[in-house]
Every structure is written in C-alpha cells, then in structure tokens.
Amino acid sequence: MKTTHPLPENRPEGLALFDLDGTLIAWDCQLLFRHFVVRKERWRIVFLKHFLLLAPFSGLIGAEGMKRVFLSYLWGIDQERLEGYAAEFADQLMPAIYPEVKAMLDEHQRKGDFTVLTSASPEFYVKEIGKRLGFDLILATELELGHLFPDLENHKGQAKVERLKRVLPATWFDGESLHAHGYTDSTADLPLLTLCDHAVCVNPGARLTQLALEKGWEIVRPARPWSGLLGKAWRSLALLFGLGRDPGGLGRRTRD
C-alpha cells in the first residue's frame, strides 16, 4: 500500500476508484513491463519457456499461479535495479494514458475527491504510475521476489474489495457502500463496483456493455493503439517476446 498522506477518519465528500489495465491504459501493463525489461536485459527471454510450457495447463494452475509463472523473468533482479526500471517505465507510460479517462481523473482531483488506484498488476511499478497521476492511495498485487516463481496474492476481483475494507477507515463505509465513482474495463471488477453509486465502463466487452446498459452506467470508448484483432494479436506477441521498440504503441495512437 502507498498513500501520499494519512487517511482522515472522516469520509471525504467524494471518492473515485480506478482500475489501471484496460481502464487508464489500453494494455495489460504486465505485458508492457515484461517487454521493457527484456529489451533492457535480453537474456531474460529464456524465462518465457516456463510460461509457454505451462500455459496449456492454466485451467489447473489458476490465474494466480500463472501470474507467478509469467513473472519468473524477474528472477535474480536486485531491488534497486527493479525500482529504477519501474520509475523509468512509468515515465514512458504517461503519454499513453487514455486522455478521456485522465480528464475524468483530473476532474475528481480538481474537486478534491479522494482517488484510489486499485490494480491487479505488480505494486512495484503501479505505485510509480500512481504517483505520477497524483492518486491519494495506490493498491496493487504485492510480490515477494527471490524465488523463480515469486510469491504473491493476486489483487483481483473480490480481493480488491477486501483490501479496501482493511485499508480504509470503517467510518468511510455506509454499510457495504463507499458511495464512490468506479472506473473499469472488466467484469472482474464487478465486486468493486458494488462499492460505487456511479460507474464508468472503459472499452467494455459484450457482457460488461450489456450490464452497463441495464444499469445505466456510463460507457466511454477511447481509441486503442492497435487496428483490429490481428493488429492486437501481433502487438501482444511482440510484447511477450520482447520484439520491436514500441509494439505497445505508447508513442502513437490509432483508431480501430
């Protein structure tokens, strides 16, 4: 957990909860950061074999287990170098933040609302991204490096809600609600939206779009940095294998 100032006991007048991957930025940042590190240290591509060999068994291993396997490329990296990479990565990421969603964040901050970045991505770079965007509280997946497959507790779905209940003062809750604004792209965050009175769905898929229409949630569709499904697939593979200078399109934006 990272806060930029102590949490007051009295509930703020306004609260806003933001997901990161797919919400503030088009990509899953785990792919982007993997590409960033492998471009810095090419030999780390060897750890991809673990992920590729175990991917067919992902149903048995589970999302948390596969995330541990995916993050094996961080094996042996020292904390100081990792923190340096995280800071540099966050700087490079800033131009790719969706301007439409950034404007919404800016408006919450202008009004003095308490803003929370809550992500399933690893905390070491999420905290750097959150600092640059001015979030009051940053919550993400905590890792314990040192093993080939790092220990972690996946900060996803209901885990986000439970973490907020542990971190925020009980006085901020009205029963099960925070009366907050919630921003997400994924049905995985439906538990988080139970804390909210207002929701904004960013480039939602079919199921979340239908729910948004039924519940009267706002839908925004910022331009993504790929063109069509094949374009996304190619860029995803390039990110996974550490190919190309900027397959994530962080320096450019095109419409589908």
Amino acid in the structure at residue 242: G
pLDDT, tens only, 30-45: 999 999 999 999 999 9
Is the pLDDT confidence value at 175 over 70?
A: yes
Section 22-35 average pLDDT: 97
- Asked whether residue 29 is domain-assigned, the answer is yes
CATH of the domain at 124: 3.40.50.1000
Q: Domain limits at 130?
A: 2-241
Cα 44 to the chain's mean position, in Å? 23
- Asked whether residue 250 is domain-assigned, the answer is no
Q: What is the pLDDT of residue 256?
A: 37
- Asked whether residue 253 is domain-assigned, the answer is no
Is the pLDDT confidence value at 126 over 70?
A: yes
- Structural domains of the chain, count: 1
Q: What is the pLDDT of residue 46?
A: 96
- Asked whether residue 224 is domain-assigned, the answer is yes
- Asked whether residue 256 is domain-assigned, the answer is no
pLDDT, tens only, 178-227: 999 999 999 999 999 999 999 999 999 999 999 999 999 999 999 999 98
Distance CA 169, CA 73 (A): 37
pLDDT, tens only, 36-73: 999 999 999 999 999 999 999 999 999 999 999 999 99
List Cβ neighbours of 69 (8 Å cut-off, separation of 6 or more). Answer: 50, 51, 54, 61, 149
| 159 vs 7, residue with greater confidence | 159
- Asked whether residue 115 is domain-assigned, the answer is yes
Q: What is the pLDDT of residue 3?
A: 56
pLDDT, tens only, 131-171: 999 999 999 999 999 899 999 999 999 999 999 999 999 99
Q: What is the pLDDT of residue 171?
A: 94
Give the confidence band of 2 by pLDDT, cuts at 50, 70, 90: low
| Residue among 214, 217, 220 at smallest CA distance from 24 | 220
Section 88-92 average pLDDT: 97
Distance CA 236, CA 242 (A): 10
- Asked whether residue 39 is domain-assigned, the answer is yes
Q: What is the pTM of this model?
A: 0.93
pLDDT, tens only, 225-241: 998 999 999 999 999 99
Give the confidence band of 255 by pLDDT, cuts at 50, 70, 90: very low
Q: What is the pLDDT of residue 7?
A: 86
- Asked whether residue 85 is domain-assigned, the answer is yes
Section 98-126 average pLDDT: 97
